[in-house]
Amino acid sequence: MVLDRKFYRRSPHQRTEQDSGQRLSFVDVRKRFDFRGIKIGRWVTEAEKARAAGLFYDALVDLMTILQGPELLVSLRGTLAFQYGSGGRPGISAHYEIGSRTFALAKNAGPGAIAHEWFHALDHYLSDKAFSDAPGNMFASEAWLRDATPIPHPINDLLFACFRAVMLDESGENPSDLFRASKAADRANGCIYYADPAEMCARAFEAFVQDASISNNFLVAGTKSTEEAKMGLYPGGAQRERINAAFRRYFSTLGRALIQSA
C-alpha cells in the first residue's frame, strides 16, 4: 500500500503529536484551508484516513509556504473541493474535475501528484479572472495560447509571463524546448496530451515546487530523474530557470496581494 511507505519531507513547519495535541483529521484540513468540501471514499479505513490526513495537511502547508500566500490561495477562496479514495478514474492516480471544481487522489496511487492537480485547479480558477471571453470549461493557459481577450492587471501580466516562459523560447517567438519535447512524445503516442497547454504548465509548476528549498515528495515528485524527465517532458536547463523565476515573481506578488486583502 502506498501510504505505508515513508515520505521524505524537509520543511520548517514540523508538526508533532505534542504540538497538535491529537492526530490530525480531514476535518482539520478543511477548517484550516476552507475547502468547499472534502469527501472520503467508503473503502478508506480509519487508519488510512488518519495517515493520509496528516500527510495531506503537511503537503498543503508546504505548498502554501512555497507560494508565499495564505490559506485561501490553497482552497482558491473556498471554491475548491477535494476527494480522497473516492470518485477516481480507472488507471489514473489523481485528476482535477473541471465541472465540479474538485481534485481527487486515489487511495493508493495519488502521492506526489498534489502539486500537478492543484495547479490544474488554479489554472481553471484563473480563466475568468485573467480573460474576459474564455469559456467556463477552459483553462487560463489554453485561453492565453488561443489569444483570448486579457483583463488588464499587473498580476495577470505576471501570470502571462509564466505561460510565455513555459510555451515559448527566450525570444518569445518560437516554441520552447518543453513544447517541442511534448509534441514529439504526443506524435509517438498518436494523441495530444503532453503538449496540451494545461498539462505543460502543470508539469512546469511541479518542477518549480520540487526545486523549492522545502522538499515534500507527498506533494511533488518525479520532475528530475524519471523517464518523463529524461524525455524532456519537464522543463530543464535555462528554460527551467526562466520558468521558476516567472512563477516566483507571480506567486510572491499574488501572495502579498491576498494577504493584504484578507
Q: Which of 115, 6, 110 is nearest to 59 (CA)?
A: 115
DSSP string, 152-206: P-HHHHHHHHHHHHHHB-TTSSSB-HHHHHHHHHHHHHTSSSTTSHHHHHHHHHH
Q: Which of 168, 186, 170, 188 is nearest to 178 (CA)?
A: 168
Q: How far is CA 123 from CA 116, 117, 136, 229, in A?
A: 11, 10, 12, 22
Q: What is the pLDDT of residues 181-217, one digit of tens each?
A: 999 999 999 999 999 999 999 999 999 999 999 999 9
Residue 129 contacts by C-beta under 8 Å, 6 or more apart in sequence? 140, 151, 156
Q: Give the integer Cα–Cα distance in Å for 120 and 103.
A: 9
Tens-place pLDDT, residues 24-42? 899 999 999 999 999 998 8
Q: What is residue 61's three-state secondary structure?
A: helix
Distance, CA of 235 to CA of 213 (rounded, Å): 18
Range scoring the smallest mean pLDDT among 12-21, 127-136, 167-176? 12-21
DSSP string, 86-133: SS-BTTBSEEEETTTTEEEE-TTT-TT-HHHHHHHHHHHHTHHHHBSS
C-alpha cell at 161: 509571463
Three-state DSSP state, 262: coil
Lookup: cell for 94: 489523481
Q: Where are the domains of the chain?
A: 13-116, 123-261
User: What are the pLDDT digits (tens) for 239-257?
Assistant: 999 999 999 999 999 999 9
